[in-house]
Amino acid sequence: MIRFLTRFLCLVLSSTAVGEERNAWLPGTGGLEIHGTGARQNPLRRAFQTPFSGLELFVRFRLNYDADSVDEPGKGDGEFFVLWLDDSDGGDRATHSGGVPNLGIHVKDGAANHFMARFTAGASEERYGPAFTGGKDHWMVGRLSKSKPSPDAPFDCLELWVNPMPGSRPTPDAAVRSGNGLAEIRWVGFSTGGKTEPTDRITAGDLRFATRWEGLFDEAIADSEAPLPGRIGSTEANEPETELVSIPDPPAYMPLPEPERIWEVKPPPESVVTDHWAFQPLKRPEVPKLRDESWVQTPIDAFVGQRHEIDGLTPAPQADDSTLTRRMALTITGLPPMLDQAPADFDAYADDLLDSPAYGESWARQWLDLARWAESNGYQHNRDRQNAWNYRDWVVTSLNRDLPYDEFIRKQIAGDEIEPFEPDNVVATGFLASARYSGNELDKLIQRNDILVDVVNTTAKTFLGLTMECAQCHDHFFDPLTQWDYYRMQAFFAQGQPGDVVLEEGAGELVRQRHGLFESVRTRMEENLRAKGQPEPILVSPEGVPKSMTAAEKRKLAELDAAIAKLPQSWAYYSPVTSPHRLAVAPSIQRWPLPFQEEALRLSKVRFL
C-alpha cells in the first residue's frame, strides 16, 4: 500500500495512528528528500481527480529540514518552503501566490525562520506561527475554509497548526484571511524558492487530506489490500478523507525517490551499421598507375592524376620559384614574403616560416573560428568576457611550440582534470567555455542546457567532423548516430560550467566572502520588495545589488573585488565535482549569470528516457 501511494503522491503516505491516549504524533515513515535550486521551483505537484469546492478542507504533512542546511537570517539568507493548494498547475516556475493558500516556513521580519500561513506575500495576507528549528520532524496541519457555504464562494480563511494535539482545534498557531481567494482546489504541490539552496535537505512526507479535524488523527489505511490504480482505497475509519481526494498516477516527468523511480532508462542501442565511406576502417589503398607519371612526386599526385585522366585534364605547369615563395609565405604565416628573391633552400625557408611567431598567429585564427571563440557572449546581451584572451594566446603558443595534436585535444576537452595542476591546462578549456551564454533570468535549467548543447555540438563538429546536433531530438537521418549517442556525449560535460576560473589553488576564501556579502544584500532587496507586495518571482538584477548597499558594504565590496581582480583568471570550463583541483570561480559579470553551485553540479545527471 505504501509503495503504491508513493507512486502517485511522490510522497510516502504512511501509518499515522496514534497511541491509546492519542496525545502525540508517531514518528513519520518514509518521505521524499527535496533539494533547492536557488530559484522558484515546484518539484512535486499532483492534480486532484475530483476538484474540491466544499466548505472546509484539512491538510496535514510532515516536514523535516536537515539542521546543517538551515540558514538563519543574519548568517545566511533564511529559508523558504511551502505546500500550496491551487486551481491550476502553473508549471515548474509558477509562484502559486496572489490568493493561493501556502503553508510552510519563511523569514519573519528579516530576523528568523518561522512557520507561516499566507494567501499573498505581504503583511495583509501573511501570518506567522512559532519559530522554526531544523533537525526534527514537524507536523503541519492546515484548514482552508469558506465563510459563505457555496461552491462558488472563495476560500477566504487559512489556519495553521504546528505539531498539534487532537484537542488543539480551537487554537491555531496562525490564521489569515483573504479577499481574493480561490473557489475551487484542483492541485496540490510543494515549492522551493530563492532561499532554498542545492545543499538544503528537506524531507516531506505523510501527506493527508480530510474534511474534518478528526480525520487527520484516524487510523491509517490498511496495508492488506492495494487499491485500484488511480484511486485511494477507503475504510470506514478514513472515509471522511478518501471520499474527497483521488490522485492519478504521476506523469513520467516527475522525479521519484530512487527505489520508486517511475522512469525507465533505456539501454544503449545496438551498433548502427553503415556503408558510408567515412565510417569504414582505415586501410591503405592501392596507388593507381598512370599513363604519364613524369610529374608524380607523391602517392597523392597519382590519385589526382587518375582523376585527370578520367576527365581528360592535364596538370598545370610547375610554378616558378618566386610564385612558390609567395605561396609558402601566405599559406604558413598569412603574410607576403619578406625576401626580395626566391630562397636557395626551400626546406630551410619552410622551417624559418614555421618558426616565426606569425605562423601560430595565422593558424590560430583558423582554429579559433572552429572553437567559436570571441571576447564577448554575442548571444542576446553580448557582455564582455574579460579573461577570454587567455585561451586565444594559449592556442597561438601551442601552435608555435608544436604541441602534439593529441595533447592539444586532451587539454581543451579535459584540462581541468589533468594532474599535476598547471594553469595552462585550465586555460585550454576555453574551447568548451566559448559556448553561447544566454541571459535567461527565469529558467536556469534552460540557460544551462543551452551551454551543454553548444558544447556537444561544437566538440562533435571540431574533433569528429559530425553534425551531432541532428541527434538531439531523433536519431540522425544520415550518419550512424542515435539520440542515445548524443546524450551520452553530453553527460561527459554535465557537471562542469564556464566561468572566470582563478588559476591558483587556495583562493576560495576571498570569493566566498564576496559571495556572502553580495547575496546578503540581494536577499535584503528581495525581502523589501516582497514586503511591498511585489508578486513572485522577485528578480533582482546583479547589476542593481551594489546600488542598494550601504557605504560600508560598498567599501567592503570594492576591497574584495580589487583583491580578486589581482588573481590570475581565465574564462574556462571547470567541474568542481570531477576535477582533482580545488579552484575558485570569480564573480561573473554576466547580466543574469548562471550560479556556480558545486552541489547543483554534483546532482546534475543526464538520463536518456
Residues 385-400, mean pLDDT to the nearest whole number: 96
Higher confidence at residue 8 or residue 299?
A: 299
Q: Is the pLDDT of residue 253 over 70?
A: no
Q: Is the pLDDT of residue 380 over 90?
A: no
d(CA 162, CA 180): 25
**Nearest CA-CA partner of 187 in 60, 9, 6:** 9
Q: How does pLDDT run across 95-105, given as a tens digit for each residue?
A: 888 889 999 99
- With contact defined as beta carbons under 8 Å apart, do 38 and 597 qualify? yes
Average per-residue pLDDT in the chain? 82
Task: Tell me which amino acid residue 251 is.
Answer: P
Quick count: other Cβ atoms within 10 Å of Cβ 580? 10
How sure is the predictor about 528, in pLDDT bands with cuts at 50, 70 and 90?
confident
Q: Is the pLDDT of residue 261 over 50?
A: no
Q: Is the pLDDT of residue 247 over 70?
A: no
- With contact defined as beta carbons under 8 Å apart, do 462 and 368 qualify? no
Q: What is the pLDDT of residue 406?
A: 96
Q: How does pLDDT run across 343-363, given as a tens digit for each residue?
A: 989 999 999 999 999 999 999
d(CA 325, CA 232): 86
- With contact defined as beta carbons under 8 Å apart, do 65 and 135 qualify? yes
* Element housing 351 (H / E): helix 346-355
- With contact defined as beta carbons under 8 Å apart, do 486 and 456 qualify? yes
Q: What is the pLDDT of residue 265?
A: 53
The residues with which 114 forms a beta bridge, in sequence order, are 106, 131
Residues 504-527, mean pLDDT to the nearest whole number: 86
**Nearest CA-CA partner of 585 in 601, 600, 570:** 570
Quick count: other Cβ atoms within 10 Å of Cβ 327? 12
Give the pTM: 0.60
Residues 322-336, mean pLDDT to the nearest whole number: 95
Of these ranges, 71-85, 272-286, 302-316, 530-544, the one predicted with the greatest mean pLDDT is 302-316
Residues 94-115, mean pLDDT to the nearest whole number: 90
Is the CATH number of domain 2-253 1.50.40.10?
A: no
**Nearest CA-CA partner of 222 in 233, 214, 211:** 233
Q: How does pLDDT run across 181-209, given as a tens digit for each residue?
A: 899 999 999 998 888 888 888 988 888 88
Q: How does pLDDT run across 359-377, given as a tens digit for each residue?
A: 999 999 999 999 999 998 8
Task: Tell me which amino acid residue 465 is.
Answer: G
What is the residue extent of each domain of the chain?
2-253, 321-355, 358-497
Q: What is the pLDDT of residue 336?
A: 94
DSSP 8-state assignment for residue 56: E
